[in-house]
Amino acid sequence: MAMRPSRRTLLKAATATGLAAAGLGTAGCGALTREVSGEQLRSRARLPAPFRVPLPVPVTATPTRGPDGTDHYELVQRAARAEILPGLRTEVWGYNGRFPGTTLVGRSGRTTTVRVRNELPVPTSTHLHGGVQAPDSDGSPLDLVLPPGYASGAGSSAHSGHGAHGSQAGHMRTRPGDWTYSSGAKTYTYPLDQPAATLWYHDHRMDFSAPQVWRGLAGLFLVHDDVEDALPLPRGEKDVPLMICDRAFEEDGALRYPSLDPSLTGEPGVEDAYMEGVTGDVVLVNGAPWPELEVSATRYRFRILNTSNARRYRLALEPGPREGAAFVQVGSDAGLLDRPVTHDSLPVAPGERFDVVVDFAGYPVGSTVTLVNTLGTGGTRSVMRFRIARRERETSRVPERLAGVAAARAERAVAERRFDFRLTSGSGGELWTINGRPFDSARVLARPKLGTVERWRFSSDFHHPVHLHLAHFLVVARGGGSPLPSDAGWKDTVDVRPYEVVDVLVRFRGHRGRYMVHCHNLEHEDMAMMANFEVV
Ligand code: C2O
Ligand code: CU
Ligand code: CU
């Protein structure tokens, strides 16, 4: 692992301590609090002018229905060529060869299975982010699908860095008994005993999630239900996912990524300069660079999700609407809100989803509106553009009440636990740690009881988007004060900002067993910022 001491990160840590001592922690100053983490990778390819490519919408798969009413999907993970930058070919690793992967659709309360076949040259694990599923279907980093014949290969690269030795030098510790392997394919079962929500699935292979997601292994999983169906929200062509991520490209169009071993079979990790996270200079929406969407002057529902490895966005519209807020949020990570929440700008950390309605009625036909990222500079300040193409009769609205989810706030926490996310120096260099320790498969940080609610307190030295598998939570405090407007609703990922303490009420329901809590900055995750909790 890339755990050699790095002068640069040591310097950073020193700066951080200085800032904290001076009480300047959350002020918008200094390297640590800047919004983009790590060096930005620069593309060597010629980049297109923005807003030339139409916004693609990922293809939706149709399940086969079993006699018991279960929906079945099949996904094949394979390499494919895509035209991301006009005129250039990019090799991607995609579900069904697509980047983003095929959109899967499920119905609340109806079991869905997904058989994932691995035709890539490396092991994978497919995690349904936001899904409430049993541990053996959760897509744990320790539960790998090996390419056919992989384990028997000479030198057994299947297990290099993958637990056969029980641990890795100076880094994440895993015991052989904590690993499970499937050869060639695995079927994941999702009961979908959860409300309508925008979930996503992505690769979660131990040590290599970041480069494998970067290569394209991410897709949408939409859950619908009767409550959502009964709402007069924009639907059909006016319900559009916006999967936002950044990338960088080589001259020939290949994806650039600073892996220590680009074959992803040997030493994991990235070059030291990227330890804080890998960001690129091209913003993609649904896999297209700075695309444009033609809209009518009516309301649209956008399911915004940030699938970037490390980049955070603050989204705004330019120009903003003449009246009303830019975004009317109707859903969070885990489902519809109780009531809509308005935002003029919307911070979106890696892993988070925001389901928003934008009303284009106030914009003249022929005009354009840019979705910008106010945390970006140069090319990364633009995300995409909307072109108001025509007037149209409005058929949708945003009702005052969406879904009845607020009652959960009254629930009582039966325990309180602290999780501190920070860079820790050890003998082998520096690691991203939780409570001072890198990931250890034998260690369980918390044993919450099924059916209870606990108060978990996250603190941090940097921007860490903290994510829990299985359990959804409500943000109840930030820095001892009120949560942000963007913290509304049930969530599975929360952006913990430098030197901030975030309190959440976590509800443990559905399944017993071992799950992960980790930072969703994927480089941090690969560099040990991960821990087990076990629902008992
Ligand atoms: Cu989206 Cu454990 O991840
Ligand atoms: Cu997850
Ligand atoms: Cu982090």
469 CB less than 6 Å from ligand 1? yes
Identical topology for domains 64-227 and 239-390: yes
Distance 467 CA to ligand 2 centre (A): 6
CA dist., res. 56 & res. 293, Å (int): 9
205 CB less than 6 Å from ligand 1? no
Q: Are strands 197-203 and 126-129 parallel, antiparallel or unpaired?
A: antiparallel
Atom 1, ligand 1: which residue's CA is nearest? 129
Where does residue 224 rank: exposed (0-12), middle (13-18), buried (19+ CB within 10 A)? Answer: middle
Amino acid in the structure at residue 102: T
CA dist., res. 317 & res. 299, Å (int): 14
- 518 CA: nearest ligand 1 atom: 2
Phi then psi dihedrals of residue 360, to 5 deg = -90, 10
pLDDT tens per residue, range 188-243: 999 999 999 999 999 999 999 999 999 999 999 999 999 999 999 999 999 999 99
What fold is seen in the domain 64-227?
Immunoglobulin-like (2.60.40)
Where does residue 87 rank: exposed (0-12), middle (13-18), buried (19+ CB within 10 A)? Answer: exposed
Determine contact, residues 55/295, Cβ cutoff 8 Å: no
Distance 526 CA to ligand 1 centre (A): 11
Closest ligand to residue 277's CA: 3
- 200 CA: nearest ligand 1 atom: 1
Closest ligand to residue 469's CA: 2
pLDDT tens per residue, range 469-509: 999 999 999 998 999 999 999 999 999 999 999 999 999 99
CA dist., res. 331 & res. 352, Å (int): 11
- 525 CA: nearest ligand 1 atom: 2
This prediction has a pTM of 0.91
Protein residues placing their CB within 5 Å of the ion ligand 3: 464, 519, 521, 524
Distance 81 CA to ligand 2 centre (A): 28
User: What pLDDT is attached to residue 172?
Assistant: 79
CA dist., res. 520 & res. 514, Å (int): 18
What fold is seen in the domain 239-390?
Immunoglobulin-like (2.60.40)
CA dist., res. 144 & res. 206, Å (int): 9
Residue ranges of the chain with pLDDT lower than 50? 1-36, 152-170, 410
User: What pLDDT is attached to residue 428?
Assistant: 67
- 141 CA: nearest ligand 1 atom: 2
pLDDT tens per residue, range 96-149: 999 999 999 999 999 999 999 999 999 999 999 999 999 999 999 999 999 988
Secondary structure (DSSP) of 175-190: -GGG-EEEESEEEEEE
Q: Looking at residue 440, what DSSP letter applies?
A: B
Q: Are strands 368-373 and 313-318 parallel, antiparallel or unpaired?
A: antiparallel
Query: How many other β-carbons are positioned within 10 Å of the β-carbon of residue 333?
Result: 25
User: What pLDDT is attached to residue 17?
Assistant: 33
217 CB less than 6 Å from ligand 1? no
Distance 4 CA to ligand 2 centre (A): 29
User: What pLDDT is attached to residue 425?
Assistant: 85
Atom 3, ligand 1: which residue's CA is nearest? 129
Closest ligand to residue 351's CA: 1
Q: What is the 3-state secondary structure (H, E, C) of 344-402?
A: CCEEECCCCEEEEEEECCCCCCCCEEEEEECCCCHHHHEEEEEEEEECCCCCCCCCCCC
- Nearest to residue 340, comparing CAs of 388, 396, 288? 396
Domain residue limits, the chain: 64-227, 239-390
Phi then psi dihedrals of residue 391, to 5 deg = -85, 160
User: What pLDDT is attached to residue 166?
Assistant: 34
Q: How many residues are listed for the chain in this entry? A: 536
524 CB less than 6 Å from ligand 1? no
Using CA atoms, how far residue 492 sits from 3, 4, 109, 223, 524, in Å, is 29, 32, 19, 15, 17
CA dist., res. 77 & res. 93, Å (int): 7
Distance 422 CA to ligand 2 centre (A): 20
129 CB less than 6 Å from ligand 1? yes
Determine contact, residues 385/51, Cβ cutoff 8 Å: yes
CA dist., res. 180 & res. 243, Å (int): 31
User: What pLDDT is attached to residue 4?
Assistant: 39
CA dist., res. 485 & res. 340, Å (int): 11
Distance 437 CA to ligand 2 centre (A): 20
351 CB less than 6 Å from ligand 1? yes
